[in-house]
Amino acid sequence: MSYTTFEEFCEKADSLTNLEKRTDNYSVREYRLDRMKALLLHIGNPQEKYKSIHIAGSKGKGSTAIFIANALKAIGIKTALYMSPHLIDYRERFTLSGSFIEDSILVEAANIFTSKIQDFSFSDDIGPSHPTTFEIYTAYAFFLFSYINCEMAVIETGLGGRLDATNIITPILSIITPIELEHTAILGNTLEKIAVEKSKIIKQTIPVCISRQTSVVRQVLEKEAQEKASRLYDLMGEVESISAKTTQEREIVDISWVNGKATHLKLRMRGEVSGENSALALLALKVAGLYKEGISEKALEETTLVGRMQLINTTPPIIIDGAHTSESLRHLLNSINQLYKEEEKVVIFGALEDKDHIHMIRLLLPVFSHIIISRPGTFKKSNVEDLYNLFRKEIEHEKSDTSLYLEKEAPRALNLALNLSKGVNPIIVTGSFYLAGDILTSYNEMNEEQQEIVCP
């Protein structure tokens, strides 16, 4: 098979067993590393041809990853970045030095990659099985980055860590961002179980940097690092304080390090959580020996990422943010309250079935005058009617005067939000990257002049 467009390759990959679009329990037939190892061996282990940095966690993975990738680009290292999911364009998953890779190169690499794997087969004592969508994307990313001769790749896990398809690499550094209760149907129903899954990206003798964690999570990570003889660098042990203030233009971040030094940043990537993410990125660069004073900070300041407190319209202000855990939502709302203290605010909210809905509802109710429940994508488990009823019950219990609406389809939800905002009040879209992507697509289609897609 030969592809003429990159979309054709991605559509073919999406037609396989697509675990990004399911919330089933772990299956030995689907979540496994032996098949991925065999697939990569079959195509010559391209992931071994460049250095890599591996990032896992529940929130902040993408922001931390792109901070690091841009800082490496700034010091002249040809750096690729692999992230998931994409919001509206498949190319968001595979970038080089902060830009989309040319379509002609993506297609050329896809055709060579496809020719290499077409005779691949895998079988064990259970019987034959085939690579999943994410395994194909990950193997393609590893091949693509080798094909374009990158020197370094920053690799974000898809889900978990232990059985994630990315967990084949031997990186120069592992990074674990804050871990929360998420994907419980797959990773386990306690923080400890989830932490164990994510801790398995820690490799023998390879250093690991971790961000702020609960005590139970930190104990799991420390135990794994000790067993692997891996030196652990805890951001909370490296800083005296981190402060972040959201303004209309930038996130103002001040970091006081335990060695007495201070870092002042004016980040384009707004949001309270960007404070810790940028500090973690700087710590990681220092541990890896890739930090350059002044240059690294400037690279972080100019970094942006689609779907992370992204202002897509000014009048009324429309901000999309993929916050999908209670803690990331709390940070987002702190920033929103700094920006819009007095205004009535509208939120379009959608969350997958395995999220902490009650906690998220209690965070949202005091902040917004109007709440619109919408569907977080069309393929993952979610029940918007159940979520709507949870909101309704909480509103009645709290005797809140918040207005509640149900609009499943993104275009209708956006139109309703625009009407409720009266053309001036802020509209926030959050709860899911899938919802953020759908609203961004609807917004672009709504405008006569298509807004340029911001590359991660």
CA distance 343 to 61: 31
Of 262, 281, 301, which marks where a domain is finished? Answer: 301
- If asked whether residues 137 and 271 sit together in one domain, one would say yes
User: Where residue 281 falls among pLDDT bands split at 50, 70, 90?
Assistant: very high
Average pLDDT over residues 230-259: 97
- For tokens 């980040």, what's the residue? 267
Please count the CA atoms within 13 angstroms of the CA of 141 that sit on its side-chain side: 32
Query: What does the pLDDT read at residue 26?
Result: 45
422 and 284 assigned to the same domain: no
What percent of the chain clears pLDDT 90, i.e. is strictly above it? 81
Alpha carbon distance 387, 177 (integer Å):
28
Rounded Cα distance between 361 and 375, Å, is: 16
* Cis ω before 131 (30° cut-off from 0): no
Q: Which amino acid is at 241?
A: S
What are the angstrom distances between the C-alpha of 207 and each of 53, 233, 284, 410? Answer: 11, 8, 10, 43
Assign residue 186 a region (left: φ > 0; alpha: ψ between -120 and 50; beta: otherwise): alpha
Closest C-alpha among 136, 186, 189 to residue 27: 186
Asked if pLDDT for residue 27 goes beyond 60, the answer is: no
The mean pLDDT of 432-440, rounded to a whole number, is: 93
Cα 5 vs. chain centroid, distance in angstroms? 26
Name the residue with higher pLDDT: 19 or 126: 126
Q: What is the pLDDT of residues 393-409, one digit of tens each?
A: 999 998 999 999 999 99
Residues 233 and 372 in one domain: no
Q: What average pLDDT does the segment 410-424 reach?
A: 96
Q: Which of 275, 301, 327 is the last residue of a domain?
A: 301
The secondary structure element, H or E, covering residue 363 is helix 357-364
The distance in angstroms from the start CA to the end CA of the chain is: 30
What residues make up the domain containing 202? 6-301
Same domain, 291 and 438: no
**Considering the domain boundaries, does residue 452 fall inside one?**
no
Would you say the pTM of this structure is higher than 0.85? yes
Instruction: Give dist(CA 397, CA 43) in Å, integer.
Output: 59
Pairwise CA distance, residues 378 & 380, whole Å: 6
* One domain for residues 292 and 317: no
Whether 161 and 51 map to the same domain: the answer is yes
Long-range CB contact pairs, 24-33, < 8 A, 24+: 24/185, 24/186, 25/185, 25/186, 26/163, 26/186, 28/126, 29/126, 29/129, 30/129, 30/132, 31/163, 31/186, 32/163, 33/163, 33/165, 33/167, 33/168
Same domain, yes or no: 385 and 260:
no
Q: Does residue 456 sit within a domain?
A: no
Given pLDDT bands bounded at 50, 70 and 90, which one contains residue 167?
very high
Inter-residue contact 127 to 171 (CB < 8 Å): no
Give the CATH number for residue 140. 3.40.1190.10
Query: Which pair of tokens denotes residue 67?
Result: 């901070």
58 and 160 fall within a common domain: yes
CA-to-CA dists, residue 202 to 139, 156, 159, 174, angstroms: 20, 14, 15, 6
In this prediction, residue 181 carries a pLDDT of 79
Q: 295 and 320: one domain?
A: no
| Domain C-terminal end among 261, 282, 301 | 301
Provide the pairing of β-strand 251-257 with 239-246: antiparallel
What was the pLDDT predicted at 125? 62
Q: Are residues 255 and 347 in the same domain?
A: no
